Amino acid sequence: MQPAMDATPKSRPIIHNLLFLSLLFSSNLLTYLISTTSYSSRFLHSTITDSAPPTITLPSTVHQEYHQSSSESKSSAEIELLPEFLALTSQQKLPFGFNPNFGADFILPPVGRPCTQFPDELNRYMSYQVNGSCPDDERLAQKLLLKGCEPLPRRRCRPAAPGEYVEPYSVPESYWKIPPDSSVVWTAYSCKNYTCLVNRVRNQKAFDDCKDCFDLQGPEKGRWVGPNTKSNLNFTIDEVLAVKKPGTIRIGLDIGGGVGTFAVRMAERNVTIVTTSINLNGPFNNFIASRGVIPLYMTISQRLPFFDNTLDIIHSMHVLSNWIPTTLLNFLLFDIYRVLRPGGIFWLDHFFCVGDQMEQVYIPLIETIGFTKVKWAVGRKLDRGPELREMYLSAVLEKPLKNSW
Ligand SMILES: *[C@@H]1O[C@H](CO)[C@@H](O)[C@H](O)[C@H]1NC(C)=O
Ligand SMILES: *[C@@H]1O[C@H](CO)[C@@H](O)[C@H](O)[C@H]1NC(C)=O
Ligand SMILES: *[C@@H]1O[C@H](CO)[C@@H](O)[C@H](O)[C@H]1NC(C)=O
Ligand SMILES: *[C@@H]1O[C@H](CO)[C@@H](O)[C@H](O)[C@H]1NC(C)=O
């Protein structure tokens, strides 16, 4: 294995291709992806330090668009894309020629359209030795992801991994046991072990997302099962499952599911739940996986990676809230409706916003999607003080069994 490389592009003469594109134009990534087979055919033998520049020709329409947009945007930057990024995203010829399913004889491996709007970070991310070790750069990767560079570009290197990985506990012991510290690369987080994460609710002043979640013997233990469920906003899993015929809620998704406790509680009821999570100052994805349920590393911006009318249940607690831009939230709610099967359940758990926003913005936004209300509770959110006038909504919504289209 190679040591992790310095990921600062400015310090190294590795940029062979200079593509001068405005930032505005870069938001149109797919139109300038370039036909080059010479680079990709070099395959693994190329490294960034020894590779010759690939042949790059810009289609004439690209030049036109560039000139148009550059005249509008004085601050447009020169983007220098690394050869490794071009090798990934350039149009690649299909070995067997035209494919009628594609309607094309090429394939364009995708990255998030906004990636090239952050050329410095993107270039740092794509700076590595091909077939070597990737830099230990989780924080950089997640920043790009959160800004919309999603999916992140694939890389041809091996990710940072723990030196002495220990295999996981077996199920069901793994559901409620803190995994060994050696299952995680800790570089990206302020805590450097699970003891620190478990105790941070007591020892740490600063806010952190899901600050008390890693303590599986704390409030996490009672979520969705009680006994702490006196509030009318706290539905239990069993009362929600009882909405449907036994055994018909089998598969689903928890959006922004923290440490995966919802999925664990559902697994204990033989329901398979995939949990989306990012790693905000904690190894959430590793922890969820160590417990024995499936983490999906993606943000709330990305289209849900499921086909239409397939899932029995989607749950989300605290994550879908007023921090999400309204238009994005509207698209997201339609996406949830899309992947739920007819008769499927959307459990919107402790959605929150401020005062009048509930009546004026969010209830109309939710009602317009087309769900049937099964349970619906609005209440005050008091944990940060009544003067903030925060409100909660908890709802169980059903996609109509008939005429859901
Ligand atoms: C890629 O790296 C592996 C592991 O270091 C090595 O065994 C292999 O020979 C390398 N392949 C090439 C084509 O350099
Ligand atoms: C965990 O990390 C903290 C610092 O974050 C350190 O003080 C403590 O000794 C570590 N504990 C263990 C068990 O490694
Ligand atoms: C609702 O459930 C959460 C998590 O289990 C708990 O912390 C909270 O105290 C409950 N609220 C009430 C009013 O019971
Ligand atoms: C889960 O499935 C197993 C095996 O089919 C069964 O023995 C068990 O009773 C089920 N548990 C629940 C809570 O339904």
* Smallest-distance ligand from the CA of 266: 4
| Separation of CA 42 and ligand 1 centre (Å) | 15
For ligand 2, mutation pick of 164, 195, 208 (most atoms within 8 Å of CB): 195
For ligand 3, mutation pick of 201, 231, 236 (most atoms within 8 Å of CB): 231
Question: Does pLDDT of 286 surpass 60?
Answer: yes
Exposure class string for 241-280: b at 16+ Cβ within 10 A, else e: bebbeeeebebbbbbbbbbbbbbbbbbeeebebbbbbbbe
Question: Does pLDDT of 316 surpass 60?
Answer: yes
Q: What is the structure's pLDDT at 80?
A: 80
Question: Does pLDDT of 126 surpass 90?
Answer: yes
Which atom in ligand 1 lies closest to the alpha carbon of residue 131?
A: 1
Mean pLDDT of the 184-189 span? 97
Q: What is the structure's pLDDT at 351?
A: 96
Nearest-angstrom CA–CA distance, 398 and 364 = 16
For ligand 4, mutation pick of 248, 264, 270 (most atoms within 8 Å of CB): 270
Mean pLDDT of the 202-206 span? 86
Mean pLDDT (the chain, rounded): 83
| Separation of CA 226 and ligand 3 centre (Å) | 8
> Tokens 């989306």, residue?
276
Nearest-angstrom CA–CA distance, 275 and 260 = 6
Q: What is the structure's pLDDT at 230?
A: 67
* Smallest-distance ligand from the CA of 350: 3
Classify residue 195 as left (phi > 0), alpha (psi -120 to 50) or beta.
alpha
| Separation of CA 130 and ligand 1 centre (Å) | 9
For ligand 1, mutation pick of 130, 131, 156 (most atoms within 8 Å of CB): 131
Q: What is the structure's pLDDT at 318?
A: 92
Please state, as a whole number, how many other Cβ atoms lie within 10 Å of the Cβ of residue 318.
14
- Ranges of beta strands (E only) in 25-104 are 92-93
From the number of C-beta atoms within 10 Å of its C-beta (0-12, 13-18, 19+), residue 373 rates as exposed
Helix (H/G/I), strand (E/B), else coil: 344: strand
| Separation of CA 270 and ligand 4 centre (Å) | 6
> How far apart, in Å, are the Cα atoms of 359 and each of 365, 391, 393?
10, 10, 11
What is the rounded radius of gyration, in angstroms, for the C-alpha atoms of the chain? Answer: 24
Q: How confident is the model at residue 228 (pLDDT cuts 50, 70, 90)?
A: low
Q: What is the structure's pLDDT at 112?
A: 96
Which spans in 126-244 are helix H? 138-146, 194-203, 219-222, 237-241
Residues 6+ away with beta carbon under 8 Å from 346: 313, 314, 315, 336, 337, 340, 371, 395, 396, 397, 398, 399
- For ligand 2, atom 14, name the residue with the nearest CA: 193
**Domains within the chain, CATH numbers bracketed:** 9-158 (no CATH), 173-398 (3.40.50.150)
Residues 6+ away with beta carbon under 8 Å from 189: 279, 281, 282, 283
| Separation of CA 269 and ligand 4 centre (Å) | 7
User: What percentage of the chain has pLDDT greater than the value 70?
Assistant: 80
Pocket of ligand 4 (CB under 6 A): 269-270
Q: What is the structure's pLDDT at 269?
A: 98
Nearest-angstrom CA–CA distance, 379 and 92 = 54
52-79 pLDDT, tens per residue? 333 333 333 233 333 333 333 333 356 6
Mean pLDDT of the 326-351 span? 98
Nearest-angstrom CA–CA distance, 379 and 393 = 7
Pocket of ligand 3 (CB under 6 A): 219, 222-223, 228-231, 234
Which atom in ligand 1 lies closest to the alpha carbon of residue 2?
A: 5
2-30 pLDDT, tens per residue? 333 333 333 333 333 333 333 323 333 33
344-379 pLDDT, tens per residue? 999 999 999 998 999 999 999 999 999 999 999 999
Helix (H/G/I), strand (E/B), else coil: 306: coil
- For ligand 4, atom 4, name the residue with the nearest CA: 270
Which of these, 176, 175, 195, lies nearest to 184 by C-alpha position? Answer: 195
- For ligand 1, atom 9, name the residue with the nearest CA: 131
User: What percentage of the chain has pLDDT greater than the value 90?
Assistant: 73
Q: What is the structure's pLDDT at 229?
A: 55
148-174 pLDDT, tens per residue? 999 999 999 999 999 999 999 999 999
Q: Name the phi and psi angles at 309, rounded to 5.
A: 55, 45
Nearest-angstrom CA–CA distance, 175 and 266 = 11
Regarding the beta carbon of 204 and ligand 2, being less than 6 Å apart is answered: no
Q: Which uninterrupted H or E stretch holds 254?
A: strand 251-254
Helix (H/G/I), strand (E/B), else coil: 400: coil
Q: What is the structure's pLDDT at 70?
A: 37
| Separation of CA 235 and ligand 3 centre (Å) | 10
Q: What is the structure's pLDDT at 133?
A: 97
